[in-house]
Protein backbone atom coordinates (compact mmCIF):
# COMPACT_ATOMS: atom_id res chain seq x y z
CA UNK A 1 0.00 0.00 0.00
CA UNK A 2 1.20 3.48 -0.86
CA UNK A 3 0.18 6.85 0.53
CA UNK A 4 1.20 10.34 -0.53
CA UNK A 5 0.29 13.65 1.13
CA UNK A 6 0.44 17.22 -0.13
CA UNK A 7 -0.85 20.52 1.19
CA UNK A 8 -2.06 23.41 -0.95
CA UNK A 9 -2.01 26.95 0.42
CA UNK A 10 -4.36 29.74 -0.65
CA UNK A 11 -4.60 33.41 0.18
CA UNK A 12 -7.31 34.73 -2.12
CA UNK A 13 -7.62 38.30 -3.30
CA UNK A 14 -11.41 38.24 -2.88
CA UNK A 15 -13.57 37.36 0.08
CA UNK A 16 -15.19 34.57 -1.95
CA UNK A 17 -13.35 32.78 -4.72
CA UNK A 18 -13.62 29.51 -6.63
CA UNK A 19 -10.33 27.97 -7.77
CA UNK A 20 -9.92 25.01 -10.14
CA UNK A 21 -7.41 22.66 -8.47
CA UNK A 22 -7.86 19.64 -10.77
CA UNK A 23 -4.30 19.87 -12.11
CA UNK A 24 -2.84 20.01 -8.58
CA UNK A 25 -4.80 16.90 -7.58
CA UNK A 26 -3.79 15.10 -10.79
CA UNK A 27 -0.16 16.04 -10.10
CA UNK A 28 -0.31 14.60 -6.58
CA UNK A 29 -1.76 11.36 -7.99
CA UNK A 30 1.11 11.14 -10.51
CA UNK A 31 3.74 11.76 -7.82
CA UNK A 32 2.17 9.11 -5.55
CA UNK A 33 2.81 6.30 -8.01
CA UNK A 34 -0.61 4.88 -7.08
CA UNK A 35 -2.22 2.98 -9.99
CA UNK A 36 -5.45 1.89 -8.26
CA UNK A 37 -6.89 3.72 -5.27
CA UNK A 38 -8.50 6.92 -4.06
CA UNK A 39 -7.50 10.51 -3.35
CA UNK A 40 -9.03 12.63 -0.63
CA UNK A 41 -9.14 16.40 -1.22
CA UNK A 42 -10.21 18.20 1.95
CA UNK A 43 -10.31 21.81 3.10
CA UNK A 44 -8.61 22.23 6.48
CA UNK A 45 -10.89 25.13 7.43
CA UNK A 46 -14.50 25.47 8.44
CA UNK A 47 -15.30 28.35 6.10
CA UNK A 48 -14.25 26.71 2.83
CA UNK A 49 -15.39 23.84 0.65
CA UNK A 50 -14.28 21.42 -2.04
CA UNK A 51 -16.60 20.26 -4.82
CA UNK A 52 -16.60 18.58 -8.20
CA UNK A 53 -18.48 20.35 -10.97
CA UNK A 54 -18.11 22.21 -14.26
CA UNK A 55 -15.37 24.74 -15.11
CA UNK A 56 -17.74 27.31 -16.59
CA UNK A 57 -17.63 30.96 -15.49
CA UNK A 58 -21.36 31.55 -15.83
CA UNK A 59 -22.14 28.52 -13.67
CA UNK A 60 -19.62 29.63 -11.02
CA UNK A 61 -21.43 32.99 -10.80
CA UNK A 62 -24.75 31.10 -10.58
CA UNK A 63 -23.41 28.94 -7.75
CA UNK A 64 -22.13 31.99 -5.89
CA UNK A 65 -25.51 33.73 -6.16
CA UNK A 66 -27.37 30.57 -5.18
CA UNK A 67 -25.20 30.00 -2.10
CA UNK A 68 -25.79 33.59 -1.02
CA UNK A 69 -29.54 32.99 -1.35
CA UNK A 70 -29.55 29.74 0.68
CA UNK A 71 -26.92 30.79 3.26
CA UNK A 72 -26.92 34.60 3.22
CA UNK A 73 -24.63 37.02 4.94
CA UNK A 74 -26.72 37.96 7.97
CA UNK A 75 -26.63 38.59 11.71
CA UNK A 76 -25.80 35.22 13.30
CA UNK A 77 -25.36 34.20 16.96
CA UNK A 78 -21.85 33.14 15.98
CA UNK A 79 -20.97 36.82 15.52
CA UNK A 80 -21.13 37.37 19.31
CA UNK A 81 -17.67 35.74 19.31
CA UNK A 82 -16.36 38.71 17.35
CA UNK A 83 -16.45 36.88 14.00
CA UNK A 84 -18.68 38.01 11.14
CA UNK A 85 -18.38 34.91 8.94
CA UNK A 86 -21.42 32.87 10.01
CA UNK A 87 -22.57 32.67 6.40
CA UNK A 88 -19.23 31.14 5.38
CA UNK A 89 -19.70 28.30 7.90
CA UNK A 90 -23.18 27.57 6.50
CA UNK A 91 -21.95 27.71 2.90
CA UNK A 92 -19.18 25.25 3.83
CA UNK A 93 -21.73 22.84 5.34
CA UNK A 94 -23.91 23.16 2.23
CA UNK A 95 -21.26 22.30 -0.37
CA UNK A 96 -19.11 20.15 1.96
CA UNK A 97 -15.47 20.45 2.82
CA UNK A 98 -14.16 17.35 1.04
CA UNK A 99 -14.42 15.00 -1.92
CA UNK A 100 -12.86 11.60 -2.53
CA UNK A 101 -11.96 10.71 -6.10
CA UNK A 102 -11.20 7.38 -7.78
CA UNK A 103 -7.79 6.58 -9.29
CA UNK A 104 -7.67 4.03 -12.13
CA UNK A 105 -4.60 3.05 -14.17
CA UNK A 106 -2.52 5.75 -12.49
CA UNK A 107 -4.83 8.71 -13.16
CA UNK A 108 -7.89 10.48 -11.77
CA UNK A 109 -10.91 8.56 -13.07
CA UNK A 110 -13.27 11.50 -13.66
CA UNK A 111 -16.09 12.02 -16.13
CA UNK A 112 -15.61 14.33 -19.13
CA UNK A 113 -16.73 17.55 -17.37
CA UNK A 114 -15.74 16.86 -13.79
CA UNK A 115 -13.34 19.42 -12.33
CA UNK A 116 -12.24 19.80 -8.69
CA UNK A 117 -12.80 23.20 -7.10
CA UNK A 118 -11.58 24.83 -3.91
CA UNK A 119 -14.35 27.15 -2.71
CA UNK A 120 -13.18 30.00 -0.49
CA UNK A 121 -16.00 31.61 1.49
CA UNK A 122 -13.90 33.72 3.88
CA UNK A 123 -10.66 34.54 2.14
CA UNK A 124 -7.96 37.18 2.17
CA UNK A 125 -6.08 35.08 4.70
CA UNK A 126 -3.96 31.91 4.63
CA UNK A 127 -5.99 28.72 4.15
CA UNK A 128 -4.94 25.13 3.43
CA UNK A 129 -6.21 22.03 1.61
CA UNK A 130 -4.87 18.52 2.20
CA UNK A 131 -4.52 16.01 -0.64
CA UNK A 132 -4.03 12.41 0.54
CA UNK A 133 -3.56 9.63 -2.00
CA UNK A 134 -3.99 5.98 -0.94
CA UNK A 135 -3.78 2.81 -3.00
CA UNK A 136 -1.25 0.57 -4.67
CA UNK B 1 -4.51 -4.73 -0.72
CA UNK B 2 -7.26 -5.38 -3.23
CA UNK B 3 -9.14 -3.00 -5.50
CA UNK B 4 -12.08 -3.65 -7.82
CA UNK B 5 -13.71 -1.23 -10.25
CA UNK B 6 -17.07 -1.31 -12.02
CA UNK B 7 -19.02 1.22 -14.07
CA UNK B 8 -22.81 1.48 -14.16
CA UNK B 9 -24.52 3.06 -17.15
CA UNK B 10 -27.89 4.82 -17.05
CA UNK B 11 -30.13 6.32 -19.68
CA UNK B 12 -33.27 7.29 -17.81
CA UNK B 13 -36.72 7.62 -19.36
CA UNK B 14 -37.48 10.76 -17.34
CA UNK B 15 -35.59 14.02 -16.99
CA UNK B 16 -35.25 13.42 -13.24
CA UNK B 17 -35.16 9.93 -11.77
CA UNK B 18 -34.02 8.26 -8.54
CA UNK B 19 -32.69 4.72 -8.89
CA UNK B 20 -31.88 2.31 -6.05
CA UNK B 21 -28.41 0.89 -6.81
CA UNK B 22 -27.76 -0.82 -3.46
CA UNK B 23 -27.78 -4.33 -5.00
CA UNK B 24 -25.29 -3.28 -7.69
CA UNK B 25 -22.93 -1.86 -5.06
CA UNK B 26 -23.33 -4.96 -2.87
CA UNK B 27 -22.58 -7.12 -5.93
CA UNK B 28 -19.38 -5.18 -6.66
CA UNK B 29 -18.29 -5.65 -3.05
CA UNK B 30 -18.88 -9.42 -3.30
CA UNK B 31 -16.96 -9.67 -6.56
CA UNK B 32 -14.04 -7.69 -5.09
CA UNK B 33 -13.32 -10.29 -2.41
CA UNK B 34 -12.66 -7.43 0.02
CA UNK B 35 -13.53 -8.35 3.62
CA UNK B 36 -12.55 -5.08 5.33
CA UNK B 37 -12.44 -1.77 3.50
CA UNK B 38 -14.48 0.90 1.76
CA UNK B 39 -16.38 1.34 -1.48
CA UNK B 40 -16.67 4.63 -3.34
CA UNK B 41 -19.82 5.19 -5.41
CA UNK B 42 -19.46 8.32 -7.51
CA UNK B 43 -21.43 9.89 -10.36
CA UNK B 44 -19.14 10.72 -13.31
CA UNK B 45 -21.32 13.67 -14.34
CA UNK B 46 -21.95 17.12 -12.96
CA UNK B 47 -25.74 16.97 -13.19
CA UNK B 48 -26.27 13.83 -11.11
CA UNK B 49 -25.85 12.76 -7.50
CA UNK B 50 -25.43 9.75 -5.25
CA UNK B 51 -26.97 9.60 -1.78
CA UNK B 52 -27.82 7.17 1.01
CA UNK B 53 -31.37 7.33 2.32
CA UNK B 54 -34.68 5.50 2.57
CA UNK B 55 -36.29 3.44 -0.24
CA UNK B 56 -39.75 4.93 0.23
CA UNK B 57 -41.71 6.30 -2.74
CA UNK B 58 -43.40 9.12 -0.78
CA UNK B 59 -40.05 10.32 0.53
CA UNK B 60 -38.51 10.24 -2.96
CA UNK B 61 -41.32 12.51 -4.19
CA UNK B 62 -40.74 14.76 -1.15
CA UNK B 63 -37.01 14.96 -1.96
CA UNK B 64 -37.74 15.78 -5.60
CA UNK B 65 -40.12 18.60 -4.64
CA UNK B 66 -37.72 19.91 -2.00
CA UNK B 67 -34.78 19.97 -4.43
CA UNK B 68 -36.90 21.87 -6.95
CA UNK B 69 -37.72 24.41 -4.23
CA UNK B 70 -34.07 24.92 -3.12
CA UNK B 71 -32.50 24.70 -6.60
CA UNK B 72 -35.31 25.53 -9.04
CA UNK B 73 -35.38 25.34 -12.80
CA UNK B 74 -34.76 28.98 -13.69
CA UNK B 75 -32.89 31.31 -16.01
CA UNK B 76 -29.19 30.88 -15.12
CA UNK B 77 -26.06 32.52 -16.55
CA UNK B 78 -24.90 28.99 -17.40
CA UNK B 79 -27.63 28.87 -20.07
CA UNK B 80 -25.74 31.39 -22.22
CA UNK B 81 -23.55 28.38 -23.17
CA UNK B 82 -26.58 26.84 -24.87
CA UNK B 83 -27.36 24.50 -21.97
CA UNK B 84 -30.59 24.76 -19.96
CA UNK B 85 -29.62 22.52 -17.05
CA UNK B 86 -28.28 25.03 -14.50
CA UNK B 87 -30.71 23.70 -11.91
CA UNK B 88 -29.29 20.17 -12.35
CA UNK B 89 -25.79 21.43 -11.50
CA UNK B 90 -27.09 23.08 -8.32
CA UNK B 91 -29.10 20.00 -7.32
CA UNK B 92 -25.95 17.89 -7.81
CA UNK B 93 -23.95 20.21 -5.53
CA UNK B 94 -26.73 20.08 -2.92
CA UNK B 95 -26.97 16.30 -2.59
CA UNK B 96 -23.36 15.57 -3.63
CA UNK B 97 -22.04 13.37 -6.36
CA UNK B 98 -20.51 10.61 -4.24
CA UNK B 99 -20.70 8.51 -1.09
CA UNK B 100 -18.15 6.19 0.50
CA UNK B 101 -19.47 3.16 2.34
CA UNK B 102 -17.86 0.82 4.88
CA UNK B 103 -17.27 -2.89 4.18
CA UNK B 104 -17.13 -5.25 7.17
CA UNK B 105 -16.84 -9.05 7.04
CA UNK B 106 -17.20 -9.03 3.27
CA UNK B 107 -20.41 -7.02 3.03
CA UNK B 108 -21.70 -3.44 2.96
CA UNK B 109 -21.94 -2.33 6.59
CA UNK B 110 -25.12 -0.23 6.36
CA UNK B 111 -27.80 0.55 8.91
CA UNK B 112 -31.24 -1.10 8.62
CA UNK B 113 -32.81 1.51 6.33
CA UNK B 114 -29.80 2.78 4.41
CA UNK B 115 -30.11 2.38 0.63
CA UNK B 116 -27.80 3.82 -2.05
CA UNK B 117 -29.46 5.95 -4.74
CA UNK B 118 -28.34 7.31 -8.07
CA UNK B 119 -30.05 10.67 -8.56
CA UNK B 120 -30.44 11.73 -12.18
CA UNK B 121 -31.17 15.45 -12.59
CA UNK B 122 -30.65 15.74 -16.36
CA UNK B 123 -31.43 12.39 -17.88
CA UNK B 124 -32.60 10.93 -21.16
CA UNK B 125 -28.97 10.54 -22.17
CA UNK B 126 -26.10 8.18 -21.31
CA UNK B 127 -24.61 8.74 -17.84
CA UNK B 128 -22.13 6.71 -15.78
CA UNK B 129 -21.36 5.90 -12.14
CA UNK B 130 -18.05 4.45 -10.96
CA UNK B 131 -17.89 1.91 -8.12
CA UNK B 132 -14.38 1.46 -6.68
CA UNK B 133 -13.79 -1.05 -3.88
CA UNK B 134 -10.59 -0.88 -1.81
CA UNK B 135 -9.50 -2.99 1.14
CA UNK B 136 -8.20 -6.43 1.97
CA UNK C 1 -2.77 -2.73 5.28
CA UNK C 2 -4.61 -2.28 8.56
CA UNK C 3 -8.29 -1.69 9.25
CA UNK C 4 -10.07 -0.98 12.52
CA UNK C 5 -13.82 -0.66 13.12
CA UNK C 6 -15.78 0.84 16.01
CA UNK C 7 -19.44 1.67 16.52
CA UNK C 8 -20.74 4.56 18.60
CA UNK C 9 -24.23 4.42 20.07
CA UNK C 10 -26.39 7.45 20.83
CA UNK C 11 -29.76 7.90 22.48
CA UNK C 12 -30.19 11.66 22.73
CA UNK C 13 -32.34 13.42 25.28
CA UNK C 14 -33.61 15.93 22.70
CA UNK C 15 -35.25 15.41 19.32
CA UNK C 16 -32.37 17.29 17.64
CA UNK C 17 -28.88 17.33 19.11
CA UNK C 18 -25.33 18.05 17.91
CA UNK C 19 -22.59 16.02 19.59
CA UNK C 20 -18.84 16.59 19.26
CA UNK C 21 -17.29 13.16 18.57
CA UNK C 22 -13.78 14.31 17.61
CA UNK C 23 -12.20 12.60 20.66
CA UNK C 24 -13.93 9.31 19.86
CA UNK C 25 -12.68 9.41 16.27
CA UNK C 26 -9.15 10.34 17.42
CA UNK C 27 -9.27 7.45 19.91
CA UNK C 28 -10.25 4.98 17.18
CA UNK C 29 -7.35 6.22 15.04
CA UNK C 30 -4.93 5.68 17.93
CA UNK C 31 -6.24 2.17 18.60
CA UNK C 32 -5.95 1.28 14.90
CA UNK C 33 -2.18 1.77 14.83
CA UNK C 34 -2.58 3.37 11.39
CA UNK C 35 0.10 5.99 10.68
CA UNK C 36 -0.96 7.01 7.15
CA UNK C 37 -4.49 6.55 5.87
CA UNK C 38 -8.10 7.65 6.20
CA UNK C 39 -10.97 7.24 8.63
CA UNK C 40 -14.61 7.08 7.59
CA UNK C 41 -17.19 8.38 10.10
CA UNK C 42 -20.69 7.52 8.93
CA UNK C 43 -24.16 7.65 10.48
CA UNK C 44 -25.96 4.31 10.09
CA UNK C 45 -29.36 6.00 9.96
CA UNK C 46 -31.21 8.08 7.41
CA UNK C 47 -32.30 10.81 9.82
CA UNK C 48 -28.84 11.79 11.11
CA UNK C 49 -25.70 13.40 9.77
CA UNK C 50 -21.98 13.78 10.33
CA UNK C 51 -20.15 17.02 9.59
CA UNK C 52 -16.88 18.82 10.27
CA UNK C 53 -17.17 22.37 11.56
CA UNK C 54 -16.58 24.64 14.54
CA UNK C 55 -17.25 23.73 18.19
CA UNK C 56 -19.04 27.01 19.01
CA UNK C 57 -22.43 27.01 20.73
CA UNK C 58 -23.73 30.10 18.92
CA UNK C 59 -22.87 28.61 15.55
CA UNK C 60 -24.55 25.29 16.46
CA UNK C 61 -27.76 27.22 17.24
CA UNK C 62 -27.37 29.10 13.92
CA UNK C 63 -26.97 25.80 12.06
CA UNK C 64 -30.05 24.34 13.77
CA UNK C 65 -32.17 27.37 12.84
CA UNK C 66 -30.82 27.40 9.28
CA UNK C 67 -31.55 23.68 8.75
CA UNK C 68 -35.10 24.22 10.02
CA UNK C 69 -35.50 27.04 7.50
CA UNK C 70 -34.17 25.03 4.51
CA UNK C 71 -35.73 21.68 5.48
CA UNK C 72 -38.64 22.55 7.79
CA UNK C 73 -40.86 20.29 9.84
CA UNK C 74 -43.91 20.08 7.58
CA UNK C 75 -46.52 17.75 6.14
CA UNK C 76 -44.64 15.37 3.84
CA UNK C 77 -45.85 12.47 1.66
CA UNK C 78 -43.48 10.29 3.69
CA UNK C 79 -45.82 10.75 6.68
CA UNK C 80 -48.45 8.56 5.04
CA UNK C 81 -46.25 5.66 6.18
CA UNK C 82 -47.03 6.61 9.78
CA UNK C 83 -43.72 8.44 10.27
CA UNK C 84 -43.55 12.18 11.01
CA UNK C 85 -39.82 12.69 10.42
CA UNK C 86 -39.71 13.77 6.76
CA UNK C 87 -37.80 16.89 7.74
CA UNK C 88 -35.09 14.77 9.42
CA UNK C 89 -34.52 12.87 6.14
CA UNK C 90 -34.10 16.14 4.24
CA UNK C 91 -31.80 17.60 6.89
CA UNK C 92 -29.67 14.43 6.67
CA UNK C 93 -29.40 14.79 2.87
CA UNK C 94 -28.46 18.46 3.27
CA UNK C 95 -25.55 18.01 5.69
CA UNK C 96 -24.66 14.45 4.57
CA UNK C 97 -24.39 11.31 6.59
CA UNK C 98 -20.62 10.82 6.44
CA UNK C 99 -17.17 12.38 6.33
CA UNK C 100 -13.78 10.89 5.55
CA UNK C 101 -10.77 12.34 7.36
CA UNK C 102 -7.04 12.12 6.65
CA UNK C 103 -4.60 10.42 9.04
CA UNK C 104 -0.98 11.60 9.00
CA UNK C 105 1.80 10.44 11.35
CA UNK C 106 -0.66 8.44 13.42
CA UNK C 107 -3.17 11.22 14.12
CA UNK C 108 -6.19 12.96 12.56
CA UNK C 109 -4.81 15.58 10.19
CA UNK C 110 -7.36 18.34 10.80
CA UNK C 111 -7.11 22.12 10.59
CA UNK C 112 -7.02 24.20 13.77
CA UNK C 113 -10.81 24.59 14.15
CA UNK C 114 -12.09 21.41 12.55
CA UNK C 115 -14.24 19.28 14.86
CA UNK C 116 -16.32 16.22 13.95
CA UNK C 117 -20.01 16.34 14.87
CA UNK C 118 -22.76 13.77 15.00
CA UNK C 119 -26.00 15.53 14.08
CA UNK C 120 -29.13 13.87 15.42
CA UNK C 121 -32.32 15.01 13.64
CA UNK C 122 -34.74 12.40 15.03
CA UNK C 123 -33.44 11.34 18.41
CA UNK C 124 -34.74 9.91 21.67
CA UNK C 125 -34.07 6.46 20.30
CA UNK C 126 -31.02 4.23 19.75
CA UNK C 127 -28.85 5.33 16.80
CA UNK C 128 -25.39 4.23 15.65
CA UNK C 129 -22.32 5.65 13.91
CA UNK C 130 -19.60 3.51 12.33
CA UNK C 131 -15.94 4.52 12.45
CA UNK C 132 -13.75 2.62 9.98
CA UNK C 133 -9.99 3.29 9.87
CA UNK C 134 -7.94 2.13 6.89
CA UNK C 135 -4.25 2.61 6.13
CA UNK C 136 -0.86 1.34 7.19
B112-134 pLDDT, tens digit each: 999 999 999 999 999 999 999 99
Alpha carbons A128 and A10: distance in angstroms, whole number: 6
- For range C78-92, the mean pLDDT: 97
Give B31→chain A minimum CA distance, Å.
16
C39 in B contact zone (CB under 8 Å): no
- Strand C2-10 and strand A127-135: the pairing is unpaired
Give C92→chain B minimum CA distance, Å.
8
Global confidence as pTM: 0.98
| Other beta carbons less than 10 A from residue B94's beta carbon | 21
Is the alpha carbon torsion for A71, A73, A76, A78 positive or negative?
A: positive
Mean pLDDT of chain B: 98
C46 to chain B: closest CA residue: B53
This model of the complex carries an ipTM of 0.97
Element (DSSP H or E) covering residue C92: helix C86-95
pLDDT tens per residue, range A105-132: 999 999 999 999 999 999 999 999 999 9
Yes or no, beta carbons of C135 and A98 under 8 Å apart: no
Residues of chain B contacting residue C135, judged by C-beta atoms under 8 Å apart: none
Residues of chain B contacting residue C100, judged by C-beta atoms under 8 Å apart: 100
Residue A70 has what pLDDT?
Answer: 98
Residue B27 has what pLDDT?
Answer: 98
- For range C50-56, the mean pLDDT: 97
pLDDT tens per residue, range B96-117: 999 999 999 999 999 999 999 9
- For range B52-74, the mean pLDDT: 98
B43 to chain A: closest CA residue: A111
Residue B125 has what pLDDT?
Answer: 96
**What's A77's DSSP letter?**
G
Say which residues have a Cβ less than 8 Å from residue C116's Cβ, sequence separation at least 6. Answer: C20, C21, C22, C25, C41, C50, C51, C52, C99, C101
Share of chain A above pLDDT 90, in %: 100
- Please, which residues 53-112 of chain C have a Cβ atom closer than 8 Å to chain B? 70-71, 76-81, 86, 89-90, 92-94, 96-98, 100
Q: Closest by alpha carbon to A4, among A31, A22, A26, A24?
A: A31
Amino acid sequence: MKTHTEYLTFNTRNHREYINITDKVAGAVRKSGVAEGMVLVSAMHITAGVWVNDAEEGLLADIDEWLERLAPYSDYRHHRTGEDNGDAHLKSLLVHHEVILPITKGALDLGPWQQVYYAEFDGQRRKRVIIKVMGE
